[in-house]
Chains A and B, each alone.
Chain A
């Protein structure tokens, strides 16, 4: 198997039998598919398995925990919930659809630029002239667009520190 493919395999913790990680951190692929999306990358296990120095991988695990604190909003459970929301939104788009919003109003993390944003009140007016009546999909800091959006036509809007600086950056 091409190792580059393995690097990109991701896993949902609740789908633990998809990838088996034994006591030494070795990853074994079961080649078994089941329902649900993957929300956690196996990159650190993979890096270790393919020879990246143990001290680097150990440090990366520490930095990963920092990432959860400073770059993603909310608890691990909330992160999981947001990822599932993203997936549902993307699936709705695939089936083609009406306007939907993902709200970040429930988060209380004050570090993020988007924590105080009310989607309807603030975001839509700021970007509406850029996106016409298209559905709006919010990618929070520290997240990527859901893979389920792959193949859909999108306009990307970069939301800078103030709402008035929303800029269309590409399609």
Chain B
């Protein structure tokens, strides 16, 4: 597993991506913006994986996802 997001982006193609708490150390604004941009990037390349996030504002952003996107939005039952 790549240790940094830089390497993560560089090597993600054809790999299974697992990302958690992206943007943990920065503001909700910049964290959500970066996470959204990265999600679009991954979606456009049909990368498979799990993207766990604490940035709930992410889902209010107008993300450009593929029409054929198979992205599922899931959460744990409480």
Contact = CB atoms under 8 A, between A and B. Distances in A.
B32 A43 contact: no
A97 interface: no
A17 interface: no
Given A47-B34, A52-B6, A60-B34, A67 B41 contact: no
Q: How large is the interface on B (under 10, 10 to 19, 20 to 34, 35 or more residues)?
A: 20 to 34
Interface residues of A, number: 33
A56 interface: yes
Interface stretch (A19-27, A123-131, A141-149): A141-149
A141 B40 CA distance: 23
Interface of A: 4, 7-8, 10, 40-41, 43-44, 47, 50-53, 55-64, 66-68, 70-72, 141-144
Interface of B: 4-6, 9-10, 23, 25-34, 36-38, 40-41, 57, 60-63
17 contacts: A10-B27, A41-B29, A43-B23, A43-B30, A50-B6, A53-B41, A57-B34, A60-B34, A63-B33, A63-B36, A64-B29, A64-B32, A64-B33, A67-B57, A71-B57, A142-B57, A143-B28
